[in-house]
Amino acid sequence: MKAWPFPKLIAHRGGGTLAPENTLAAMRMGHALGYQAVEFDVKLSADGVAILMHDPVLGRTSTGSGEVCRLPYDELARQDAGLWHSPQFAGERIPRLTEVAAWLLAHGMRANVEIKPCPGRDIETGHLVGNLCRDLWLGHKVQPLVSSFSVAALTAARRVAPDLSLGLLVKDFEPEHVSVLESLGCASLNCHHAQLKPAMVDALHDRGYRVMVYTVNCVDRASELAVWGVDSLFTDSLSEMKSAFPDWLFV
């Protein structure tokens, strides 16, 4: 297998539970705690701006309401994306992918960019995010891993950026996923840790794929997965995991 450019621990949505997810504040939090890599979600506004946002509608992690795909970025940018978490983050904005990429590159951090398309926008989102990841990280030694549950989005990203490293996101690993990994030329399978078995890790490694698991917040479970040979773990428990496995923050 090729050298793996990601550490064992990756900060989920930037700052785990310690900062408002998918914001620049979250990226700053992960960096401040010593994390070298972050994961975050990207979708498109109504006017085709790539933004960091998990949900298809506003409300849970921001002020405002309505479907993200129906709102232009200017309107999304006016919403408060930090106050829901805690008063100290009041005024945090919904950021553009371009802003976050620039910040991460300036601070030497690595990224797993999850394409999280709004319903019906898989191909459009995959195409635009693929283009942006290709261009924003052009010339940099460590490229992002671009992942998604959407095969259509990953296929679109692959078409416009043949050299991207892709990760197929699934809840549970099934044998039929191997053909998808092969057809897309994926670098990794990213799956929920609960149903994973050691034999699955071995089988994927034998085929040349890395194994990444979400979202691991228990130290004992992280230890078990590491023994099985899992390559990277996404976590919301940034402080606890750092205390237990300080060496896992580094490549």
Predicted confidence (pLDDT) per residue in 201-232, tens digit = 999 999 999 999 999 999 999 999 999 999 99
Looking at the domain assignment, is residue 167 inside a domain? yes
Question: Could you tell me the residue range of the domain that residue 209 belongs to?
Answer: 9-246
CATH number of the domain within which 107 lies: 3.20.20.190
Is residue 96 included in any domain, yes or no? yes
Q: Does residue 117 fall inside a structural domain?
A: yes
In a domain, 2, yes or no: no
Cα separation, 41 vs 53, in Å, equals 6
CB 212 within 8 A of CB 205: no
The one-letter code for the residue type at 197 is K
Residue 138: phi, psi to the nearest 5? Answer: -60, 130
Distance CA 169, CA 164 (A): 15
130 is a domain residue: yes
Q: Looking at the annotation, which residues are catalytic?
A: 12, 54
Q: Which residues of 230-250 are buried (b: 16+ CB within 10 A; e: fewer)?
A: bbbbbbbbbeebbeebeebbe
The first and second tokens of residue 62, run together, are 């921001």
How many domains are contained in the chain?
A: 1
**pLDDT recorded at residue 77:** 97
Torsion angle defined by CA atoms of residues 247, 248, 250 and 251, in that order, rounded to the nearest 10 degrees: 120
- Examine the pLDDT at 195 and tell me if it is beyond 90: no
Helices 151-160 and 177-184, packing angle to 10 deg: 20
Q: With respect to residue 217, please indicate whether it lies within any of the assigned structural domains.
A: yes
Residue 4 included in any domain = no
Q: What is the pLDDT of residues 144-188, one digit of tens each?
A: 999 999 999 999 999 999 999 999 999 998 889 999 999 999 999
**Angle, CA of 232, 238 and 242, to the nearest 5°:** 75
Comparing C-alpha atoms, which of 97, 175, 181, 101 is closest to residue 142? 101
What is the per-residue pLDDT across 99-126, written as a single tens digit (0 to 9) for each? 999 999 999 999 999 999 999 999 999 9
